[in-house]
Structure 1
Amino acid sequence: MSKRKFVYFWKYVFLILVAIISIFPMYWMIVSGTNKSVDVIVGKILPGNYLMENLKSLLDTTVLSQAMWNSIRNAVVSMVLNVFVCSLAGYGFEKFHDKYKDKIMSILLLSMMVPTAATVIPLFRMFGKMGLLNTTVGCILPTVSTAFMIFMFRQAAKSFPDEIIEAARIDGVGEWGIYFKMFLPIMKSTYAAAAIVSFMNAWNSYMWPLIVLQNENSKTMPILVSGLTARYTIDYGSMMLAVTISTIPMLIIFFVLQKNFVEGITGSVKS
């Protein structure tokens, strides 16, 4: 074996080991959903035949279908609004000229340093006075615009040629036409990356939905899974099955958009 082949051999061995270590937690999560609670406690890593019993127990003790629908609805609406609003803001910050825009952008970036927990009480009081507690609008509204997404789209807009905009304006194309017919198709990779990040953040959101959604039928999947750990006796098999089910939508979104994800992320940080 030549030296080059020897190096490649051990490189692939190392990468395979790292991949196995990375995938094992997800494998164990899926396998645990097919085992009894006692088997999960002792760390059984082989699939069992207790899947249907765990599913029946989960359906009998929780509003699984309602929580799944609530999470999907909230995450999809939040993702669409977040990507649309933040892309408009990022495009505007980069392509429209105003002497105060850089100062405003700096303030937005500084807001990323404020912990989410510090804004919960003011948001709760404000939404209470607006009558938005225990509503889907109240749950989604704080996620419609985020400083990170605006910054991401602004960085991506830097690679969008100004010459195209000027030529389109000369030809009589309006600003909305430039945005929808030119900017959006060219920046589809950035939109795909933003959609994945936005959906993931909305799907995994726990603190704000827990506070603002006070109705039993408004529970989302993270709240439902958390509630399974608050019982006197924890059924780990059912809990791991619930966690497995809750990861399915995120996996679907990622695999559908993964081709453009890396390109979108790398393209968004080019100066």
Structure 2
Amino acid sequence: MKKLTTMVVHLFLIVASVISLFPFVWMLMGMTNSSSEILKGKFSFGSMLMENIHKLLDMTSLGAAFWNSAIIAIIGTVGTLLLSSMAGYGFEIYHSKSKSRLFGLLMLSMMMPFAAVMIPLFRMFSGMGLLNTPTAVILPTITTAFMIFFFLQNTKSFPRELLQAGRVDGLSEWRLFTRIYMPTMKPTYAAAAIITFMNYWNSFLWPLIALQTQDKKTLPLVVSSLASSYNPDYGIIMVAIVITTLPSVLIFFLLQKQFVQGMLGSVK
């Protein structure tokens, strides 16, 4: 009975893996084929890869879009990790009833859909002269209720004895945070970094509104413009999607072990 259960579990995992990987395999094959071959359902590698890449570079400012996405994702991720971890650390380490009420109000913001605040955000950034800049994309999500909650929950397992020992040694509160808390919470930072980087890198709706000129567009906007053209070339689109996907995949595999530890709330 135990062997049968194990076989069923393994069979289920194999089927789930195949279903999950199929779109990526199709995408990799599609980038080497022409648009007509993709529409015919060809499921094998072709010889059109270099031609598709050259067409993509001729049709779009891919380098500029990649740079724009990288700037927004890197600066946004670093800022989000720093501010959210400071907030989560403060709410949990310096706990009080008033802070609990404030945190409750903060959590209520998660119930508000982004569509409800788009127009106020647009008017605000327009009045500040920040539209069509990376700042306009980064600031609205530089701290989120979810990410503060994530750090707060993980901080519950943080050993307070380390802070007490640091205070005995004469460390300031800022040094306690940077020299004791941050190194100890590396798995949490890794998990948060993956989530935040992917959110910034794949962000579409707000950048579509805030970035108004072609030279400021990010990769998701470039892919969208290719797909919405009158006669889309699917081979070129597949190349663009692969290029857009690679940084997120690379970040995930580099921080995979820390991501699992961080999501489980473990502290080393």
Tell me what 2:42 maps to. Answer: 44
- After the TM superposition, which residues 213-224 of structure 1 pair with which residues of structure 2 at under 5 Å, given as runs? 213-224=211-222
| TM-aligned CA deviation for residue 7 of structure 1 | 4.2
| TM-aligned CA deviation for residue 130 of structure 1 | 0.8
Distance in 2 between residues matched to 1:208 and 1:127, nearest whole Å: 12
Tell me what 2:191 maps to. Answer: 193
Query: Any idea what SS the aligned residue of 2:111 has?
Result: coil
Tell me what 2:101 maps to. Answer: 103
1:37 partner letter: S
| TM-aligned CA deviation for residue 14 of structure 1 | 2.9
Deviations 1:149-179 (A, max 9, x none): 0000011111112232223212211111111
Distance in 1 between residues matched to 2:130 and 2:50, nearest whole Å: 39
Distance in 2 between residues matched to 1:115 and 1:7, nearest whole Å: 43
1:79 partner letter: T
- Counting matched residue pairs gives 267
Question: Could you tell me the TM-score, scaled by structure 1's length?
Answer: 0.94
1:201 partner letter: N
Q: Please list every run of 5 or more consecutive structure 1 residues that lacks an aligned counterpart in the other structure.
A: none
Query: Any idea what SS the aligned residue of 2:170 has?
Result: coil
Tell me what 1:123 maps to. Answer: 121
Tell me what 1:30 maps to. Answer: 28
| TM-aligned CA deviation for residue 49 of structure 1 | 0.7
Distance in 2 between residues matched to 1:136 and 1:7, nearest whole Å: 52
- Which stretch shows the higher mean deviation, 29-38 or 188-197? 29-38
Q: Does 2:125 correspond to 1:132?
A: no
| TM-aligned CA deviation for residue 99 of structure 1 | 3.2
Among 188, 201, 204, the residue aligned to 2:202: 204
Query: Any idea what SS the aligned residue of 1:112 has?
Result: helix
- Which stretch shows the higher mean deviation, 94-103 or 252-261? 94-103
| TM-aligned CA deviation for residue 5 of structure 1 | 4.0
2:90 partner letter: G
Tell me what 1:112 maps to. Answer: 110
Query: Any idea what SS the aligned residue of 2:135 has?
Result: helix
Query: Any idea what SS the aligned residue of 1:70 has?
Result: helix
Distance in 1 between residues matched to 2:213 and 2:118, nearest whole Å: 18
Tell me what 2:74 maps to. Answer: 76
Query: Any idea what SS the aligned residue of 2:255 has?
Result: helix
Q: Please list every run of 5 or more consecutive structure 2 residues that lacks an aligned counterpart in the other structure.
A: none
Question: Could you tell me the TM-score, scaled by structure 2's length?
Answer: 0.95
Distance in 2 between residues matched to 1:59 and 1:228, nearest whole Å: 12
Q: CA RMSD in A?
A: 1.5
